[in-house]
Structures are given as C-alpha cells and as structure tokens.
Chains A and B, each alone.
Chain A
Amino acid sequence: MKLIFPFWRRLLLIAALALPMHMATALELVDRATLAGLASDNNNDKIEAINALGQLSHPGAAAILEALGNDNVLITSDGSVLVVESAGKAYDPTTGNSIAVPSGAEPITINNRLRRALQAAQASAELYSPSPVVRLAAVKRLQKEGDASRAPIISKALEKEQDAEIKQALTIALAASTIKSGDASARRQAAFVLGESGDANFKPVLSAMLQKDSNGQFAEPENNVRLAAETAINQIDRHQSLVAWAGNIFFGISLGSVLLLAALGLAITFGLMGIINMAHGELLMIGAYATYMVQLFFKAYLPGWISWYLVAALPVAFLVAAIVGMILERTVIRWLYGRPLETLLATWGISLMLMQAVRSFFGAQNVEVANPKWMTGGITVLGNLVLTYNRMVIIAFALCVVGVVWLVLNRTRLGLFVRAITQNRRMADCVGVATGRIDMLAFGLGSGIAGLAGVALSQLGNVGPDLGRSYIVDSFMVVVLGGVGQLAGTVVAAMGLGMLNKFIEPFWGAVIAKIAILLFIVLFVQKRPQGLFAPKGRSAE
C-alpha cells in the first residue's frame, strides 16, 4: 500500500514532463545567447548554459533540458542548437520553427558531470512548473540534496510560490541548503526550520554540526547555532516517536477491529448461547467467498457498478452465512445443547466438511478479491505515516457492526428473548418464549455477522479455504479475554489485543509478539477466569 502513493505521483510527474515534447511549437522561445554555451567544446561553458536554462524556469527551457537528458539536442555544423521532435525532424528553440534535421548535426553527449548539472537545472526549472505535483516533487528533491548553491534559486521560487504546502516545503528546502553555509544567523534559522519539519532525513546533517574534528573543534563554530541544532535534533526525535506511536495506534486499532469483526459473531454464539462453534472460522470464509461470487457477478453483468460490489456483497454474505448457520443449528447443534465439549467436536467436523466443500468447488488455491477503487490509496499524515483507506473503512465498518449488534440485542424483541434465554432458559420457556426458534435466529445472527466479517477480511488478506483457520484461535481468545456474554468486553479485548500486538511487534517481531500475547491471555485467564468483564452476581453450575 505504501508504495502506491509515491508511484502514482511519479507517474504524474513523468506525464507532466513528457508533455512539453509534443507541444514544442507552442513553447516559449529561448534566445540564442543562452544556448551558445551548449555548442562550445568546453564543459564549463556547457554547464553554464545548462544552469542558465535552469534559471530561466519556463517550460521552453525545461523542454530543452529534458531533451538534453535524452540525447535529443543536436548541434548543427554552424553552431546552432536543435531539439529533436521525432525521427528526422527537429525544432529550433530560438525561433520555434520545425525543420528537417540538417546533415552534419550531432547530438550533445552528456557525461556524468554534465548530467549532474542537468539534473540540478531541471529541478530548478521544475520549481516553476504549472503542475503543483511536479513542483512539490522538485522541492522534495531539493530538500534531500541540501546543496548550498541552490539557495538563491529556492528563495526566488519561494517569493513566487502561492501554494501553502509547497511554500512550506520550499522553506524547508531553503533551510536544508543554507544550514551548511550562510552566516551564523541564517544557519541558526535553518536549524530551527529543520527541527520544525520533524523529518528524520535532516538528522545526519544536524548531528554532523555537533561533531568534533580531530583538533577538538566543533564542525559548527558558533555556540548558539550548535544549541539550535541540538534543539532541532530533539524536536525531530520527538516528532519521529510521535509518528511511531500514531502508527502503532492506528495499526493497533486496525488489527483490533479485524479481531473484533472476527470475534463478534462468536461473542453471540459462544458468549450468549454457550455454543462452542469451531466452524466459526469457516463462516468467515463463506462470507469471503460470497464476496468473491458477488464480485464475479458484477464483473459479468454490472461492470459499470464494479466499484460498489462490496456494498452488494454485505447483505449477500450475511444471508449466506446466516442460512448456513441456521441449518447447522437445526441439524446438529440443537441436539447438543448442554454438552459443550461434544458441540466442539461436532462443529469441528462441520468445519472440516465446509473447508473441503469449498476446496472442491473453488479449488485449493486462493481466489482473487480486489479492493474497489475507493478503498485503495490513503492519506499521509505527520509527514510519513500513510493511513490507508481500506483500513479506515474496516475500522468504521467494525464500529457500525458493533453498533447494530448492540441495537439488536438491546432494543429489539429478538435481543430481549436472547438475553432472557441466556439468563434462564427454563424460565424463558415457561413464559412462552419459543426457545427453539430464538436459538436458531440467534445462531443465524451470529453466523451472519461472521459472514459480514468475511467481507471485511476479503479486503485485507488472501481468500482461500484456510482463511477461517487462521482466525479461529484469535477469535476465541478475544471472547475468552473479554468475558462471556459481554459485548463491551469483546470490544475492549479486541482493541486491547490489537494494540498490544502492534506495540510489542517493533521490539520482538511478529511471531514472538503473537506467542507473548497467547501466553499473556493464558496467564490472564488464570487470574480472572471470567474474563475482563465478569458478570456480577451469583451463578451456580
């Protein structure tokens, strides 16, 4: 995901650069004197001409620089400069006329020294590009270079720039290029700006200022500039740890909401009804495969609406999983009420059959479920933290599902009956609750929610017959940790586990983090066998 953003930015950049080539005749003209150096044999003259072109900072000059980089600039025998448009045709940048390439015209060869100068000149030319994306990319490059000789160009661009974001980037670029040169006050000012930027890329430059050379002299002679550099380093460190924390929290919430979705159905079937449903993972898988089927249907019959197939997949996945769940309840599970260990075995058997059935129908390979367009990409915050849209959507979705489940359990008749049966099955039966039907519906609800979770999971990882297996242990852990029969406990446990996992991962790695968390739960349950939110009151077996 992280790669996508820079990638399309780069694509735009390439597109923007390619454009002037084809509009050669409409470009601003460049006077002959500026170009004269290019025809010279002396490299210094050439560099001077290139720099001058960079200073011109208009698309006409940019086009010449671009062409130079591609060996598309020709010198005719009389010393005039031509830019190749297509095979055999070129235009004269001083007049803008297209002509046939005369014989004896030779391309300017670019050696490494020239190429460096060329790149620098191009960067400064790009600072005036009409496209803000190109400008920003150029500024970012200048920030990295931190070349003192660029300072005048940057400050000139800064005066003209209107866009606030680019303006800020330019200020940082200016600081990066003046930090090593400039007078003491400019250096001090630059250190402040770099510290404000919070960008870890500037840390080496700043640290270098605090180094002592072999004579015991600081690289930076001025005391107060050193002080400013030190402050700046601290500021960058603080910013970086803030980014790391924010990242951990975001990914923790994201993982937590995945766990929550996976465990929510189980919180109903296991938590409220006391059914150990080992086939829960396979209900997730069924939801994911339902998503896949809906996607195929949209591809075949509604290609115009393909980016909204997920919305249609939600009710389909819910219904399919709920129906499978209700069939299970009616045919197998209802005979095993009050015998949880037997339920565990029977539902495990069912999970084996469901897995094999999916393998028979869809093959053992993973199927491809694509993210719709509106879920790809993300927004960048705090400099370099990318919050991807698909994770944000799933967090929001998990919250919605929790809300709906809460409403169903607490504000509907079905919920009332389910809670009544949880508290006292016989009594509920006596006062006329159709316990059998409610069991079926409640199990269907739990299974349907697993189906919804399957839709979400299909957007994050592989969809294959084994999808459910990887979540079953985690889901049970969440429900056990949260406490049986407690929706709030499930939410807190899922989020807590997600966070804990992401905060441990940077130190110990993903596998050890996982093991640590499993052991943590094992220990935790020793202390509080009823989970985080133990039901209050007396209960006897």
Chain B
Amino acid sequence: MNSLSNNLQPRSMGPLFSAKAWTAIILVTAVFACLPILNLSFAPGHTLHISAYTIGLIGKFTCYAMAALALDLVWGYAGILSLGHGLFFALGGYGMGMYLMRAGKSSPDIVPDFMTFLSWKAYPWFWSFTEHFWYAMLLVLLVPGLLAFIFGYFAFRSRIKGVYFSIITQALTFAAMLLFFRNETGFGGNNGFTDFKRILGFDITSPQTRAALYWLSLGALLAALILGRAITQSKLGRVLTAIRDAESRLRFLGYEPLGFKLFVWTVSAMICGVAGALYVPQVGIINPGEMSTENSIEMVIWVATGGRGTLIGPIVGAGVINGLKTWFTSALPEFWLYALGLIFVLVTLFLPQGIVGLIRRLGRREKALS
C-alpha cells in the first residue's frame, strides 16, 4: 500500500481535469468517434475503410473499459478488491438481454424456446414489463445496484475487508453462476440469451445500429470517466482514499466508513451493469459464463495493468490486455494463457502502478534530467 499512497499525494480539489487533460480526452474521444463514420462512408476495400469487425471489437473493449473503470473506483480508490464485478456486468447484460429477447419476437408475449421446453406458458413474474425498453434499462441500473447495496451493507457493516471481502465476493459470484446455469431459474440455463433481432425497432445487425451502439458505449465510457473523476476529486473521494490507506485511523478520527464505502461500491456496480447492458447487444449473447471466476479476475488485471487509482489506467489496461487477447487467440491460441498468466505475475511484481504509473515515472525522470 505504501508505494501507492506515495504516488497519490493529496491534490488540491481543483477542476475536474486540467486543460491539457481535457484536450487529450476530447481528442481521443473524437478520433474513436470517427471510426464508425469511416466504416459507413467508405466501401470495403477502400484504404480508409474500417471493417465492421474492428468497430465491433472496439465497441466491446469500450464496455470492458467501463467495467474496469468501475472496478478501479472501488479498488484503486477505496481499497476494496472485488472479485465479483463479473456478476454486476452479467446482471446488467441479462437486464438488456431480457428486453432484447422480447423485442425480437412478433409479440412480446411469445415465450422463448427455453421456456417452452420447461412447459412454461407465460413469462414468470420477474420478466414482467421487460418488454418496455425503459423499464429494462431501469433494471440494468437497479438490480446490480440493489444487490451491491444489500451485500455491501452487510459486508461493510461487519467490517469485512481485504482478502476476506475478495473471497466472499468470489463466492457470491460463483453461487450466482450456479443459479443462472439452472434451466429452472428462467434465464435460459447455460445457453443464456442469444439470437437477438431488433432493438427499439431497429435491426440489431445493421451497420447503422451498430455504429449507434458504439457511440453510445463511447459516450457512456466518457460519462463514467467524468463521474468517476467527480467522485474521486470531491471531498468524498479524499475520504475514500483515506479508507484505502488507513481505515482504522480514519475511524479513530470520527468518520464512519460504512456510508462512503457503500456509496462508491453501489455506484461502481451500477456503472458495471450499464457496461454489461451495452455489451450484450454488440456481441449478441449473454450466458452465465460471464459470471465465472475467471472473468472477474481478468477485470482486475485490466485495472492492475493500466494502473489502479488513475481512472485512465483501467481504460488503457482493458484495451491493451483485450487487444493482446484478440491477437493471441487468433495467432497463437496455445500461448494466450501463458501470456495472460505472465502478465498477472509481471505486473504485480514489477509494475505495481501499471502502465500509467510507469509513464508518470518516466515523465518525472525526464523532467528531473532536463
């Protein structure tokens, strides 16, 4: 913990971002926002054409980045390492999936095949109103939020922290995965939801819809970044950092950490839920595999690689690791797990502050040299 706190000296609560940072953010966002235009306006084969595959990939990474950012809020700033963010991500995805399942049918009351196999004639109660888009979106926010709130309330109240909290979140996610794997739970068992057709009346496979989803994801990521920055730059954010570095001391000073932790934990879960909801229409499937232990821990390594406690770092980390994954699984599928395992080990041993920390250190050294 010590090295990390040195890196994050108390800053003045100035503006959200410095002018330089704003420029960089807007520039990068603009570049990424242009990509679908290149895809739509140039025919395949043209030098400036960007394939739909690339757009889909970046859109997917954007959602991952959002989940990583959410995880960074709790891990990087409040010191709560969650091994259960895959659960919130998947719950958001299932919320969206419920709407998409019903939107694709000629009538929203026709039950999907997996319910027919269970000889269910109508949708069970927890599916009610999911044919309305806005209600489903409410679920996307509220279900992960509520679960996180209830779970967090009990966990933080009994002062479970550190690795205990991590292991308990892992157990919770594992239990949820087992639950969703059952056919009788009513979420399609191990096949989950797939074969989506329309979203809000638009064809889900058309390039225009995909571009819109991409822009939405990009916008949501930007919004999450600004929200995260607003939280961490506020007084509340300072308390969170204090919780991370010396929770007992903070308590002795008269603060009750419960509310602060609970707030950031719930917000993080909700951001993660939104990321999951944006992810599902772009990849076209959601199944309980998203809740597996592996997925949640992979999210942690995105954050660690990019640099925790930086908000930008997780976005970079999610991009880098998933870029590598995409390359490896097509070029050297046998070696991807070796590479990922090595990244886990090397980052924890040699890059405790991640890529962003490394760049900062190099920058400082250059300044000192000049």
Contacts and interface: CB of A to CB of B under 8 A. Distances in A.
A and B: real partners?
Answer: yes
Interface of A: 276, 278, 332, 335-336, 339-346, 348-353, 355-357, 360, 469, 472-473, 476-477, 480, 511-512, 514-515, 518-519, 521-523, 525-527, 529, 540-541
Contacts of A350: 341, 344-345
B77 to A, nearest CB: 14
Interface string B317-339: 00000000000000000110110
A480 B164 contact: yes
Given A345-B304, A349-B343, A529-B158, A514 B163 contact: no
B163 A276 contact: yes
Contact of A526 (B160, B174, B293): B160
21 contacts: A341-B166, A345-B347, A346-B344, A349-B343, A349-B345, A350-B341, A350-B344, A352-B341, A356-B335, A356-B341, A473-B170, A476-B171, A477-B167, A480-B168, A511-B179, A512-B182, A514-B175, A518-B171, A522-B172, A523-B154, A540-B248
Interface string B169-190: 0111011001101100000000
Q: Nearest 7 A-B pairs (CB), nearest first?
A: A349-B344, A353-B341, A352-B341, A356-B337, A518-B175, A349-B341, A346-B348
B301 interface: yes
B98 interface: no
A535 to B, nearest CB: 14
B352 interface: yes
B225 interface: no
B160 A518 contact: no
Most chain A CB neighbours (cut-off 10 Å) among B174, B335, B342: B174
Contacts of A526: 154-155, 157-158, 160
Contact of B338 (A356, A477, A541): A356
B300 interface: yes
B300 A345 contact: yes
B363 interface: no
A341 B303 CA distance: 13
Contacts of A335: 349
Given A349-B343, A352-B344, A356-B338, A344 B155 contact: no
A33 to B, nearest CB: 65
Contacts of B166: 276, 341, 344
A473 B162 contact: no
Nearest to B344: A349
Interface string B346-357: 011100100000
B177 to A, nearest CB: 10
Contacts, number: 119
A332 B345 CA distance: 8
A356 B157 CA distance: 40
B266 to A, nearest CB: 18
B168 A525 contact: yes
B171 A345 contact: no
B342 A525 contact: no
Contacts of B345: 332, 346, 349-350
Contacts of B341: 349-353, 356
Contacts of B154: 523, 526
B365 to A, nearest CB: 23
A473 B338 CA distance: 22
A540 B172 CA distance: 28
Interface string B246-266: 001000000000000000000
B348 A352 contact: no
B171 A340 contact: no
Name A's interface SS: helix
Contact of B349 (A276, A336, A523): A336
A345 B178 contact: no
Contacts of A351: 341
A278 to B, nearest CB: 8
Contacts of A348: 297, 344
A225 B362 CA distance: 96
B349 A515 contact: no
A525 B164 contact: yes
Nearest to A340: B163
Nearest to B181: A511
B172 A480 contact: no
B52 interface: no
B175 A349 contact: no
B159 interface: yes
A340 B162 contact: yes
A473 B81 contact: no
Given A344-B163, A349-B301, 13 more contacts: A332-B345, A336-B349, A355-B337, A356-B335, A357-B338, A477-B167, A514-B178, A519-B172, A521-B168, A522-B175, A526-B155, A526-B160, A527-B158
A360 to B, nearest CB: 7
Given A276-B163, A336-B349, A353-B342, A477 B171 contact: yes
Nearest to B80: A341
A372 B236 CA distance: 63
B167 A480 contact: yes
B340 interface: yes
Contacts of A360: 334
A476 B343 contact: no
Contacts of B293: 469, 472-473
Interface in B116-136: none
A525 B349 contact: no
Contacts of A332: 345, 349
B337 A515 contact: no
Contacts of A336: 348-349
Given A349-B341, A349-B342, A341 B162 contact: yes
Nearest to B3: A339
Contact of B297 (A342, A345, A356, A522): A345
Contacts of B334: 356, 360
Nearest to B168: A522
Given A344-B163, A345-B348, A525-B164, A515 B158 contact: no
B160 A525 contact: yes
A341 B80 CA distance: 10
Interface in B284-303: 293, 297, 300-301
A270 to B, nearest CB: 8
A248 B246 CA distance: 47
Nearest to B335: A356
Contact of A519 (B163, B175, B182, B338): B175
B153 to A, nearest CB: 10
A540 B338 CA distance: 39
Nearest to B170: A473
A511 B182 contact: yes
Which of the listed residues A278, A345, A350, A512 has the most CB atoms from chain B within 10 Å of its own CB?
Answer: A345
Contacts of A515: 175, 178-179
B338 A353 contact: yes
A357 B172 CA distance: 29
A522 B300 contact: no
B254 to A, nearest CB: 18
Q: Which one of B159, B162, B163 has the greatest number of beta carbons of chain A within 10 Å? A: B163
A278 B297 CA distance: 11
Nearest to B151: A522
Given A346-B344, A518-B171, A526-B155, A511 B178 contact: yes
Nearest to B247: A541
Contacts of B81: 341, 344
A476 B155 contact: no
Contacts of B297: 278, 345, 348
